Chain A
Amino acid sequence: MSAPHELVTLTIDGVSVSVPKGTMVIEAAKRSGVLIPHYCYHPGLPVAGVCRMCLVHVEKTPKLQIACATPVQEGQVVTVFHPDAMKAREGVLEFLLINHPLDCPICDQAGECELQDYVFQEGRSRTRYTPTYAKRFNPVEDFGGDILYVPNRCILCTRCVRFMDHAAGEPVLNVSERGDRAFIGIHPDRELDHPWSGNVVDLCPVGSLISKDFLHKARAWELDKAPSVCTGCSQGCNVILETRQETVVRIRPRSNLDVNHFFICDHGRHQYRWMNRGDRISAPLVAKDGALAATDWDHALAEATAVLKGAGGTVVVLASPATSTEALFLAKQVAGDTFRGAFRVERVAGEAPLDGVPNLALRGERAPNVAGATQLGYGEDFDEAVAAVGDAAAVVVLGDTLDGVPAQALSGGADIIYIGTTLPEVARGARVVLPSTNVAEEDGTFVNRDGRVQRYLQAKSGPGMARPAWWVLAELVAAVDGGEPAASAAAVFDRLADAVPAFAGLNHASLGTRGAMLPANVTAGATA
């Protein structure tokens, strides 16, 4: 922790607020509950001070001041909704609109457009720009990667330029030309193909930089949003899953200054199509007459319980490191003293860092919960664990898709309980198949590479009878060991925190939306 900050007290629209010295008025205003309209300012980028939208009245200064570049001072009296400031901002909005096409009906940004929002909030109801004047026109340009540039909608806030300059460290964008002919230019020999370049779409306050992937896919107001954690690698970037009619259509970053600031990489951004797979298992299946037959949960759970109760030896758990910490914990618990857990993870050579943000990169370890699995005693000895199946009493497959695992490796006599979202051919030899939900369809937590435990929330419903893996395993634990099954992911986590010293003291409520670090003094792999 840094030294305590010297506090400065000022008044913003009549509200007294104390903030650390050096804070800009625009951030102080957020603390006092006022969002000062702005375009070029972004907390994750250097201040440009060019849109002039955040002009506010500051007592004892001759001119209006831009809130984004005005540091707070003791006793300062700021009036955001001062008549002079409102006229100035109304003027800016009018100027921005004279060359802005009113093509909101076909613009992807509509509904989440800061130009729309502030014009509705503070703008003029009618333009004074003579309708016979042509608006500036430039054709749509393909910036490469996932990005299209629609120059007509551009308000030249330069957020994209500053992102590429200062955050990505790859200055391929600039402001070309000058005056009202200006537009965002791209290096003639380059494309916007930096692994983090998709952030310019989120940063663009209007519909000027848009995603090809999301183009005309949905209107902003149709989207439901749920806070989640990216599954693309072990960094654990905070994201928002956006769904439309039970389909994930977009992933966007969710700010967390301890992890990903305001950004996510393009790899993570595109980790949503598999969440919408159609070939899901939608009912529990049990082996009957040499084939799997659909059944109800009671029957399937009873079958699985019988397998586990009758197991007089090692229970091998083949888990995916993209499984929730809760499910990993319960799988270990259900295996009891004879637990042998293993996982495997895709490892890619090299990382793709975002230069401007410390400790942020697309990591080579391409799963979100490797640290969680490791903390709970799972080993990265997947092949050895598969080889040990022959001597095992039972096998629980948890989320692993068994890719590359030969059928004969699993046919050694041990009963297989398969918990997963899809059914690979090799799993057809299972005794019980229990359909589970994916990350978009359940609550849970992941532990990122730094040991930060972070929650993800359900964004859509699962298919058919599929249930969260934690629910399935909680039922099995209760059936095998007695007691009441945990009724929620949070309740499972409470039991986890009680049982595993590494997680001691944590709970879902205290993790909140930003997560918390594992208590540092606890060694990895403590027993349950």
Chain B
Amino acid sequence: MGFPHKPHDKETVVLSRYFGDPEAKTYDGWVKRGGYEALTKALSMQPAAVTEEVKESGLRGRGGAGFPCGFKWTFMPKEKKGPHYLCCNADESEPGTFKDREIMRWTPHALIEGCAIAMYAIQAEVCYIYIRGEFTEPIRIVQAALDEAYAKGVLGPNAMGSGKPLDMYIHRGAGAYICGEETALMNSIEGRRGNPRIKPPFPAQSGVFGKPTTINNVETLAAVPHIINRGAAWYKGLCLGNPKSTGTKLFSVCGNVRRPGNYEVTMGFPLGELINELCGGMPNGRTLKACIPGGSSVPILTKEETERCILDYEGCVASGTMLGSGGVIVFDDRADMVYQIMRLTKFYAHESCAQCTQCREGTAWTVRILERILAGEGAPPDLDLLLDLADNMTGKTICVLSDSCAAPVVSGIKKFREEFDAYISGAKAPALART
């Protein structure tokens, strides 16, 4: 359903089926709805068979990178020489994204079940659910569900009577966006400063506490029980033509639409239809101007591109952007793209961990140039400078925060250059006070 709105006919409700249903939050309610059947089934299978099922389903990482989930699990050592860890990335901080929050709020047991299945598949005893610190309500709900799961024997030293220990802990983030980057998240769990690590070594070789670790997004893990229950073939069938992107995806739509919210559609759904039909289109008298389809880190689309864009991993790339986390930010014709882009870059400048030079200095410099343009003090060479800085900031750092800051600047200047020019030429009144 387009939570908090009632479901739309064109949605394919899998993960969001029980959004808004308070009973589903409880263990009993969850079991009544078929909960933990998948875990029971998985525990009766060989771990490799579970991995194979997930691999076969085509499930890809929902955190943004879209890496095939089952394939990632196969990177873990086959022969266990010490502890293995699972990390659940619930540090949902990408501007425009709020899908994991709803999964945790309404179906915490779906997440716990998904984590438990994944732990079994990768032979991990311990799972850290790293939840964004500001998510006070989801933290409370997931903690209550964990307590229940322990009380019911789902987790603990003899999980589900399998004889295997499964332990899950919530690790609460402390307000850094960068801790959503997988290696920074691991540093944070270890009690270190949340700085991304250089790779290699990759987490499956040396992750949390230097041990083999798999890290998956909340939405990815929440989809796993459905795949185990209903089979890889069913999940694979949930696509509109592109076999490389399968299943359903939650899209958090915000911005200038009539009904913002979370919408679950199958991969391959047209972005235009999502905005115009499911979300009710633009507010009265307004027209679509631009859209960022995958959270603030991906390139901006124009109206025309938005209407042509297909919402799956390959479709978004074909449109010159990325599916990302599925945080759809919609701008109508009132939006000042220069200001919007400045605001986005300011976020990245604030959140840069300060390790890499390009990111630490480049994000802040980019903000200053954009603020200067908005204050009516820009000069024509500023746009080329912005593009050149963006080039120096792209593909040269440990993580992609720097790239994420550069992406909207590059696409913004490319697609909305006339708005920048209007500030620079003085045709448009300054939006900010002079610096």
When C-beta atoms are compared, the residue in chain B nearest to A174 turns out to be B193
User: Across the A-B interface, how many residue pairs have beta carbons closer than 8 Å?
Assistant: 92
Asked if A179 meets B365 with Cβ closer than 8 Å, knowing A50-B355, A91-B392, A174-B193, the reply is no
Asked if A180 meets B396 with Cβ closer than 8 Å, knowing A49-B198, A69-B198, A175-B193, the reply is no
Contacting residues, chain A, for B193 (C-beta < 8 A): 174-175
Contacting residues, chain A, for B352 (C-beta < 8 A): 178-180
Asked if A98 meets B351 with Cβ closer than 8 Å, knowing A50-B356, A55-B396, the reply is no
Contacting residues, chain A, for B364 (C-beta < 8 A): 179-180
Nearest-neighbour CB distance to chain B for A93, whole angstroms, equals 9
Contact between A52 and B360, CB atoms less than 8 A apart: no
Is B88 an interface position by the 8 A CB rule? no
Is A215 an interface position by the 8 A CB rule? no
Contact between A98 and B361, CB atoms less than 8 A apart: yes
In the complex, per-residue mask of B145-181: 1 if CB is within 8 Å of any chain A CB, else 0:
0000000000000000000000000000000101000
Is A96 an interface position by the 8 A CB rule? yes
Is A311 an interface position by the 8 A CB rule? no
Is A95 an interface position by the 8 A CB rule? yes
Interface residues of B in 341-391 (CB under 8 A from A): 349-358, 360-365, 368-369, 372, 385, 389, 391
Nearest-neighbour CB distance to chain A for B361, whole angstroms, equals 4
A179 is contacted by which of B357, B363, B392 (Cβ under 8 Å)?
A: B363
Is B398 an interface position by the 8 A CB rule? yes
Asked if A95 meets B365 with Cβ closer than 8 Å, knowing A177-B354, A179-B354, A179-B360, the reply is yes
Contact between A178 and B354, CB atoms less than 8 A apart: yes
Contact between B385 and A128, CB atoms less than 8 A apart: yes
Q: Which of A5-13, A129-137, A206-214 contacts B (4 or more CB under 8 A)?
A: A129-137
Is A220 an interface position by the 8 A CB rule? no
- Bound complex: CA A300 to CA B385 (Å): 77
Contacting residues, chain A, for B392 (C-beta < 8 A): 87-88, 91-92, 94-95
When C-beta atoms are compared, the residue in chain A nearest to B361 turns out to be A95
When C-beta atoms are compared, the residue in chain A nearest to B384 turns out to be A128
In the complex, per-residue mask of A230-252: 1 if CB is within 8 Å of any chain B CB, else 0:
00000000000000000000000
A98 is contacted by which of B198, B365, B372 (Cβ under 8 Å)?
A: B365
Could you say which of B178, B353, B357, B364 has the most chain A C-beta atoms within 10 Å of its C-beta?
B357
In the complex, per-residue mask of A63-98: 1 if CB is within 8 Å of any chain B CB, else 0:
110100100000000000000000110011011101
Asked if A64 meets B354 with Cβ closer than 8 Å, knowing A99-B361, A128-B385, A180-B349, the reply is no
Interface residues of B in 313-363 (CB under 8 A from A): 349-358, 360-363
Is A407 an interface position by the 8 A CB rule? no
- Bound complex: CA A69 to CA B201 (Å): 11
Interface residues of A in 270-291 (CB under 8 A from B): none
Is A156 an interface position by the 8 A CB rule? yes
Nearest-neighbour CB distance to chain A for B190, whole angstroms, equals 14
When C-beta atoms are compared, the residue in chain B nearest to A155 turns out to be B357
When C-beta atoms are compared, the residue in chain B nearest to A157 turns out to be B357
Is A218 an interface position by the 8 A CB rule? no
Nearest-neighbour CB distance to chain B for A282, whole angstroms, equals 54
Contacting residues, chain A, for B397 (C-beta < 8 A): 52
Is B395 an interface position by the 8 A CB rule? yes
Could you say which of A66, A94, A95, A175 has the most chain B C-beta atoms within 10 Å of its C-beta?
A95
- Bound complex: CA A88 to CA B393 (Å): 9
Nearest-neighbour CB distance to chain A for B256, whole angstroms, equals 29
Residues of chain B whose beta carbon lies under 8 Å from any beta carbon of chain A? 176, 178, 193, 198, 349-358, 360-365, 368-369, 372, 385, 389, 391-393, 395-398, 435
9 contacts between A and B (CB under 8 A): A52-B358, A53-B357, A91-B392, A95-B362, A98-B365, A174-B193, A178-B176, A178-B351, A180-B364
Residues of chain A whose beta carbon lies under 8 Å from any beta carbon of chain B? 47-53, 55, 63-64, 66, 69, 87-88, 91-92, 94-96, 98-99, 128-130, 132-133, 155-156, 174-175, 177-182
Besides A91-B392, A177-B354, A178-B353, 12 other CB < 8 A contacts?
A49-B198, A52-B396, A64-B396, A66-B198, A87-B391, A88-B392, A130-B369, A179-B349, A179-B364, A180-B360, A180-B361, A181-B354
Q: Which 3 pairs from chain A and chain B are nearest by CB?
A: A91-B392, A182-B354, A95-B361
